[in-house]
Amino acid sequence: MIRTSAIIADGSFPCATAVLQGSCSRTFRQAKEAGYDCVQLTIRDVSDYDVLECRRLMEQYGLSISAMATGRVYTVDGLSMGSSDEENRAACVQRLKELADFSCKIGKPAVVIGAVRGLYRDALSPEEYHRQFDRSVQEILDYCEPLGVPVILEADDHLEADAFCDPKETWEYVQSFHSPVFHMYLDTMHLFNEGLDAAEVIRIYGKDIYSIDISGENRLSPVLSKMDFRRIAEAVRESGFQGVLTFEIPPSPPENSAEQSLDFIKQLLSL
């Protein structure tokens, strides 16, 4: 069954990726009212959210937490999975392990590897970056597998990342670890930025991927986007995708973007 998720953030920092922003009590309520099945947390540290409050709100609104977006671990704290600085790399892995422990307390949402992968400039060379990144992934998987916590690697684009921007490369990399908790996920904006046909990529990988981030060019709502979301929706259906559609867009425009964007995609999917 396809589930839908709204990215949330607490509103204390500029965020163009969280469609709902404010306190947890507010964003959980808004997600429920808009018709979402889940929320995705924007998280830097385990202290960002209260476990008991999350559990209470999940029960109150009948929502699950689908994943934890970890980009601020890199953009704020500068911790990189591919860093040549071993102290930095180890601190990054430790932070992600702590988030995996946190995940176990709130229903085991996935740990996202997006921006936290870092950039080539974090290492002495691209080759060194990949060696360090490989070490980090293996250490994280060794920790997360016994816990049963999913780890999801985003197929990004070259405007934001140096590595794993090609879906085929990303897919093959994930498969090379032979881990039951390691998965690829896609983002329609990143596919657009790479000049790829999002619908065709989804047709190829849809049945096997964990989630798809929904957003138009420049993180526009799909309602306002020039991307062909009708074809994308057809590809989602035809691929056999059974994961999470995550809405990674700003709160506006349009007004009530969370609700309007979800309704638009649901109509295209006949959900």
What is the domain-level CATH number for residue 244? 3.20.20.150
What's the token pair of residue 204?
């190829």
Q: pLDDT confidence of 229, banded at 50, 70, 90? A: very high
Residue 192, domain extent = 3-269
Provide the pLDDT for residue 209: 97
Provide the pLDDT for residue 41: 98
List CB contacts of 16: < 8 A, sequence separation 6 or more.
219, 250
Average model confidence (pLDDT) across the chain: 97
Which among 63, 215, 194, 79 is positioned nearest to 136, based on CA atoms? 79
CA-CA distance, 36 to 19, in Å (whole number)?
12
Which among 82, 154, 74 is positioned nearest to 112, based on CA atoms? 154
Provide the pLDDT for residue 21: 98
Instruction: Determine contact, residues 211/203, Cβ cutoff 8 Å.
Output: no
**Cα 199 → chain centroid:** 19
pLDDT tens for each residue of 249-263: 999 999 999 999 999
* pLDDT above 80 (res 271): no
pTM equals 0.97
Q: pLDDT confidence of 97, banded at 50, 70, 90? A: very high
pLDDT tens for each residue of 143-198: 999 999 999 999 999 999 999 999 999 999 999 999 999 999 999 999 999 999 99
- Give how many domains the chain has, as a whole number: 1
Instruction: Determine contact, residues 49/58, Cβ cutoff 8 Å.
Output: no
* pLDDT above 90 (res 65): yes
* pLDDT above 80 (res 244): yes
CA-CA distance, 181 to 219, in Å (whole number)?
28
Please give, one letter per residue, the 3-state secondary structure of 25-79. HHHHHHHHHHCCCEEEEECCCHHHCCHHHHHHHHHHHCCEEEEEECHHHHHCCCC
What's the token pair of residue 254?
């349009």
Residue 204, classed as helix, strand or coil, is helix
